[in-house]
Structure 1
Amino acid sequence: MSSLSLDVQISLEDARWKKVVNEPIESFLQTYIVAALSHPDIVLQIPKNLEVSVVLTNDDDIRELNRDYRGKDKPTNVLSFPQEVDLSTMKHLDACVLLGDIVLSIDTIQHEIMQQQKLMHHHLAHLIVHSTLHLIGYDHETDSDAELMESLEVDILHHHNIPNPYESDSSYMV
């Protein structure tokens, strides 16, 4: 999948996102979206020209989306909205294919890293990988699906020197 071309469209809805990681947020997002899409165990035939939309927002905005699309009237850390297209039929297209949208809330994520004593870089990378896998059809509705998805996440993060987020490992913690 080295020929993957990814266009990440970012909508910055909350200025606090500008200083979340020690590199431009665009580069950070691109790194972990590509890592998820190019993992060798991803068996889907993915088109070579892809677009992912990322909305960087806050609890007020994500709460509305969570309520309207999931029936849960509360904020959450991340939401994924896949495009619901058959990617295998588009694998030979040269045109750019929109995978879907990822929406991240700065408020909930900052609360989680403080409460769980995690590093922002690690936690955000995990959420990006997790939500990208949702965009290509992975879910955690059953135990076996959850195990598969978590295994992929852990392996992808490991290749970027980020420890297993599902374990209480001091190297993932602050």
Structure 2
Amino acid sequence: MPVEVMIEDDRWGVVGIAALADRAADVTLAHLGLASAAWEISLLACDDARIATLNADFRGKPTPTNVLSWPAEDLSPDMPGDMPLPPEPDEDGFLGDIAIAYDICAREAAEAGRPLADHVTHLTVHAVLHLLGYDHIRDPDATLMEATEVAILGKLGVPDPY
């Protein structure tokens, strides 16, 4: 199991966050040619208040956000639009931490008219890609990341969110 889930908000039981996160991570890693059994990810399933605190502490933004990620190592490419570096296997195979907030995810899914499970699957794929060095700050990187997300989501049966 690549994702160790810590549930702080019981509402996450509605979508089965642990199984959903495992499946999203498995498919993301497989899509990128990585054996999921060799890697581990930690996911905190929390609420808006908790993620706002984390966002303030780590990004200086005291507001809630849908998902945050903390890669174990910087795999980002030097050149915009290039593929990130592959992770180097080590003893524990830890890729990093993710936090996801129920309130804002449920609100975003409702506003977009999408099932909550689909939205959370998308955000989990998105966060795992961040752990693997993908980003969307520079336009060429965003193009690569979004195309990769859409391909993975297609394998998961989730429609293109873009």
Matches within 5 A, 1:1-174: 6-19=1-14, 21=15, 24-39=16-31, 42=32, 49-84=38-73, 90-91=88-89, 93=90, 95-166=91-162
Moved more, 81-90 or 118-127: 81-90
TM-score normalised per structure 1:
0.80
Structure with higher helix content: 2
**Superposition deviation, residue 113 in structure 1:** 1.2
User: Structure 2, unaligned stretches of length 5 or more?
Assistant: 76-84
Structure 1 regions of 5+ residues with no counterpart? 1-5, 167-174
- Is 1:47–1:90's contact at 8 Å kept on the other side of the alignment? no
Are the equivalent residues in 1 in contact too, given 2:110–2:116 (CA < 8 A)?
no
Shift of 1:96: 2.5
Counterpart of 1:11 in 2: which secondary structure?
Answer: strand
TM-score w.r.t. length of structure 2: 0.86
Q: Which moved more, 1:102-111 or 1:46-55?
A: 46-55
Runs of 4+ aligned residues of structure 1 deviating over 3 Å after TM superposition are: 45-48, 85-91
Once residues 136 and 46 of structure 1 are traced to their aligned partners in structure 2, the CA distance between those partners, rounded to angstroms, is 13
Separation of aligned partners in 1, 2:46 and 2:130: 19
